[in-house]
């Protein structure tokens, strides 16, 4: 979470939604922007108990499918020995050369409460926490898919026109419309929708996608 008292801004960092890029921009270009690392992913309920409600709170949301894939990739990269035992392949190789194992790993990750042995990993497990949890009715919501354009109001408010650098750009690995990822998601679409439907509805993302890969 980032707070600027001068500009009366509070940025709520929703995991896997370009939050690292925004935190970097804010702390670089706003003199009094303070990073509360112990409150990095605080929900509005906790934020509002510490900061005035008349501040403007903003957050970034993302297509729930893409966000879930991004979260899975996070685990694959950092805990591959748990998700894909004995695998020493890069993420790209895992998708293309070990796809059957990856699909099994994704299924296990979705259905196992804590599929990773490392207890610290539980702190990074946001699979079934809707993004709506971080947003109140007054939160200024920006979309990951149009972030450069949506972020302009922040730049105008603080008087800084420097562009937002994307530190973790979207790749095919986190795009749910690619053929590989459609296969990963297909068997679990009902489960995913049952947990994250509030995000699909509130933020205007469509929960169905056809075989051509288009959301709709």
- pLDDT, one tens digit per residue, over 88-125 is 555 555 544 544 555 667 777 777 655 444 444 444 45
Phi and psi based region of residue 16 (left: phi greater than 0; alpha: psi -120 to 50; beta: remaining): left
Containing structural domain, residue 152: 2-62+129-158
CA atoms within 13 A of residue 214's CA, in its CB half-sphere: 2
Q: Cα–Cα distance between 119 and 188 in angstroms, integer?
A: 25
CA 85, 90, 91, 93 torsion: positive or negative? negative
Do both 71 and 140 map to the same domain?
no
Do both 71 and 92 map to the same domain?
yes
**pLDDT class for 210, splitting at 50, 70, 90?**
very low
Tally of domains in the chain: 2
Of residues 155 and 175, more confidently modeled: 155
Do both 34 and 122 map to the same domain?
no
Residues 155, 58: contact at Cβ < 8 Å? no
Helices (H), the chain: 19-29, 44-50, 64-78, 80-83, 91-96, 99-111, 147-150, 152-158, 179-186, 189-203
| Rounded average pLDDT over 160-168 | 81
Do both 50 and 151 map to the same domain?
yes
Contacts with 177 (C-beta within 8 Å, 6 or more apart), sequence order:
209, 213, 214, 215
Do both 90 and 192 map to the same domain?
yes
Is 9 strand, coil or helix?
A: strand
Q: Cα–Cα distance between 160 and 125 in angstroms, integer?
A: 34
| Rounded average pLDDT over 145-160 | 94
Q: Cα–Cα distance between 22 and 28 in angstroms, integer?
A: 10
Do both 135 and 150 map to the same domain?
yes
Residues 107, 101: contact at Cβ < 8 Å? no
**pLDDT class for 214, splitting at 50, 70, 90?**
very low
Q: Cα–Cα distance between 92 and 94 in angstroms, integer?
A: 5
Give the orientation angle of helix 189-203 with respect to helix 179-186, to 10 degrees. Answer: 110
DSSP state of 106: H
pLDDT of amino acid 80: 55
Sheet holding 56-61, edge to edge: 34-35, 2-4, 9-11, 56-61, 140-143
| Rounded average pLDDT over 205-214 | 62
Do both 78 and 117 map to the same domain?
yes
Do both 52 and 113 map to the same domain?
no
Do both 119 and 134 map to the same domain?
no
Examine residue 207 and state whether it is found in any structural domain, yes or no.
no
Do both 88 and 184 map to the same domain?
yes
**pLDDT class for 4, splitting at 50, 70, 90?**
very high
């Amino acid at each position: 979470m980032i707070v600027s008292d001068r500009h009366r801004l509070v940025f709520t960092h929703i995991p896997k939604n370009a939050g690292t890029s925004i935190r970097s921009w804010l702390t670089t270009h706003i003199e009094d922007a303070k990073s509360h690392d112990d409150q990095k992913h605080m929900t509005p309920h906790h934020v509002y108990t510490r900061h005035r409600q008349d501040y403007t709170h903003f957050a970034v949301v993302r297509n729930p499918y893409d966000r879930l894939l991004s979260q899975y990739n996070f685990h694959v990269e950092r805990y591959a020995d748990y998700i894909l035992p004995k695998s020493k392949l890069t993420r790209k190789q895992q998708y293309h050369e070990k796809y059957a194992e990856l699909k099994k790993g994704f299924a296990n990750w979705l259905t196992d409460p804590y599929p990773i042995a490392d207890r610290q990993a539980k702190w990074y497990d946001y699979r079934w926490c809707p993004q709506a949890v971080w947003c109140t009715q007054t939160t200024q919501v920006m979309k990951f898919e149009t972030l450069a354009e949506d972020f302009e109001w922040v730049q105008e408010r603080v008087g800084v026109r420097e562009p937002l650098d994307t530190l973790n750009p979207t790749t095919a690995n986190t795009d749910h419309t690619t053929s590989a990822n459609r296969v990963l998601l297909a068997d679990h679409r009902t489960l995913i929708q049952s947990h994250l439907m509030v995000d699909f509805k509130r933020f205007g993302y469509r929960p169905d996608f056809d075989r051509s890969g288009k959301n709709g």
